[in-house]
Chain A
Amino acid sequence: MPSGGKVSMTCAEFQKVLPYIIDSGGNVGEQEHLKTCPICADLVADLTYIADQAKLLVPMMDPNPRVWNGIKHSLEESGQVKRSATKSGVRGRLLESPTRSRWGPAAWLLPVAALVLVVIGLFLYRNRTNPDNSYSADQRVSPSATMTLVNSDGMGETQDEQLLLQLSEHVPSLRPAYEQNLRSVNSYIADARRSVQTDPDDEDAQEALMQAYQQKAVLYDMAAQESVP
């Protein structure tokens, strides 16, 4: 626990109390040590940075459909719901859709955008899972090429803006939710892309990038479904 107001303290003493003072800032002696000790200042900066980055982590992964099937099966088995009481075709949606409306003439762009995103994701995935059979090293899409593709065709911003514009016109109540989701997914794509660029052989980063693209495709798909009367 924080000690009294000792003015001079060692790094060992400071780091011993750090877990308890990192949020509050500590007493005069601890603050003084932090100001004058670059090692402890770096340590606190790193720990604070990690905590800040963790706050930005958002739930990005959907569970496998077998999870819902398992839930449904369990409820049916236990007699809590009648068999086939839930329509198998009913899909849970991530966003509220209090109203449905038709899209304007640009409606076709949405599924196309989603398709392109999925294709990019799948392309990277196939590169990862089957690099020898499907593509030679020269034929593989480099991360920078992917980034150029996504940026240069305006997928990153123009399409998003168009999507939000359409939502504003037809289902204004949905716009904030889509806006927030797009921000999250775009930021995740940017992070994943950076990781792939840093290390093109990093399989986790490629997987993350693919998932991020898929999430964006799902978002566009959901928006497209809003046009179903």
Chain B
Amino acid sequence: MVPGLSEAEAIDRAKAGDAESFEALYGLHKRRVYSLCLRMTGNTAEAEDLTQEAFLQLYRKIATFRGESAFSTWLHRLAVNVVLMHLRKKGLPEVSLEESLEPQEDGPKRDIGARDNVLAGSIDRVNLERAIENLPPGYRIIFVLHDVEGYEHNEIAEIMGCSIGNSKSQLHKARMKLRDLLKASRAEKATRS
């Protein structure tokens, strides 16, 4: 941050076109925005491009920030929209509006009739980050928005243009898939050691 300048002052100055204050805001929020882009896309190059695009949009739109929500929340939503817009253009599947809870070929399977060791205590953040990276894009987006970033289902439904029920079922599938991935990774490690 520019010495002696609070975030609120930096925002006011950036609204007036002060480039140095904008750079300070970039310094404050770059990590969170980049991490969001990286987790949602699972791709470093795309995440860098999207971070750049999000901050360019911030520069253009910062004058419209009225302080009704926290600046970080406002910027976060802006970044989410940038990522989703990109994914739509790219034509990646986001949320299937016609999906059912029946097991899909590549999706997680129901857990009926088998008992395995529970995961509790056996996974850490490195494993989890890696498993999230390996989720199919549609699952990953919902999981990141809900479980990592803390969005509610009604917010996700609004952002994604789907029903709340659809958001819940996709999240469930994402968690089930993660469970499969984490258990497979644990089993693989146990075999090697």
**A residues engaging B (CB < 8 A)?**
1, 11-12, 15-16, 18-20, 22, 38-40, 42-43, 45-47, 49-51, 53-57, 59-64, 66-68, 70-71, 74-75, 80-81, 85-87, 90-100, 188, 191-192, 194-195, 198-199, 204-205, 208
Contact = CB atoms under 8 A, between A and B. Distances in A.
Given A11-B112, A195-B127, A50 B52 contact: no
A67 B51 contact: yes
Contacts of A43: 111, 179
A42 B172 CA distance: 15
B150 A55 contact: yes
Contacts of B4: 98-99
Contact of A49 (B48, B110, B118): B118
Given A20-B165, A208-B126, 8 more contacts: A39-B113, A51-B147, A67-B34, A70-B52, A81-B17, A85-B20, A99-B4, A199-B193
Interface of B: 1-7, 17, 19-20, 22-28, 30-32, 34-36, 38-39, 47-48, 51-52, 55-56, 59-60, 101, 110-116, 118-120, 123-130, 132, 143, 147-148, 150, 165, 168-169, 171-173, 175-176, 178-179, 182, 189, 192-193
B126 A204 contact: yes
B128 A50 contact: yes
Contacts of A53: 123, 125, 128
Given A45-B118, A59-B31, A198-B189, A68 B26 contact: yes
Q: Secondary structure of the B side of the interface?
A: helix
Given A55-B150, A188-B125, A191-B126, A81 B19 contact: yes
A62 B119 contact: no
B83 to A, nearest CB: 14
Contact of A80 (B6, B32, B47, B59): B59
A49 to B, nearest CB: 5
Nearest to B169: A19
B112 A85 contact: no
Given A59-B35, A61-B34, A199-B193, A86 B118 contact: no
B148 A68 contact: no
A85 B115 CA distance: 63
Given A19-B172, A63-B51, A98-B4, A75 B56 contact: yes
B20 A87 contact: yes
Nearest 3 CB-CB pairings of A with B: A92-B27, A59-B35, A19-B172
A47 B26 CA distance: 35
B143 A54 contact: yes
Given A19-B169, A57-B129, A68 B30 contact: yes
